[in-house]
């Protein structure tokens, strides 16, 4: 499902215009992204939790040349689904 499909389904279900719904959906995702970028956990009841995790710099191998390389430290974002979402997905 694409972002536009989500917007269209919400707009239809709520009797709102697609333009109005797009503003709201975009605002929700912007807030989630900004909170994650600043290191905050975002927990949505019944849906799940978005959290960032810092990975350390480490050594790896270039798969083409087998030469050792340094993989830079990074911040990754993860999602842990809530039990309600897991139950819905698993029937």
Residues 30 and 3 in one domain: yes
Q: Are residues 48 and 26 in the same domain?
A: no
| Residues 59 and 36 occupy one common structural domain | no
25 and 51 co-located in one domain: no
For residues 4-10, give the mean pLDDT: 96
Query: Is residue 91 very low, low, confident or very high in pLDDT (cuts 50, 70, 90)?
Result: confident
Residues 30 and 47 in one domain: no
Tell me the longest C-alpha to C-alpha distance in the chain.
58
Q: What is the CATH number of the domain that holds 49?
A: 4.10.520.10
- Look up tokens 């959906």; give the residue: 25
SS3 annotation, 1-47: CCHHHHHHHHHHHHCCCHHHHHHHHHHHHHHHHHHHHCCCCEEECCC
Domain boundaries, position 6: 1-40
Task: Kindly report, residue by residue over 17-61, the tens digit of the pLDDT.
Answer: 999 999 999 999 999 999 999 999 999 999 999 999 999 999 999
């Amino acid at each position: 499902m694409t972002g536009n499909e989500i917007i269209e389904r919400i707009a239809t279900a709520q009797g709102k215009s697609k333009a109005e719904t797009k503003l709201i959906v975009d605002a929700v995702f912007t807030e989630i992204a900004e909170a994650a970028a600043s290191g905050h956990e975002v927990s949505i009841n019944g849906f799940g939790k978005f959290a960032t995790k810092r990975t350390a710099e480490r050594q790896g191998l270039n798969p083409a040349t087998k030469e050792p390389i340094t993989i830079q430290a990074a911040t990754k974002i993860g999602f842990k689904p809530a039990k309600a979402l897991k139950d819905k997905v698993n029937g």
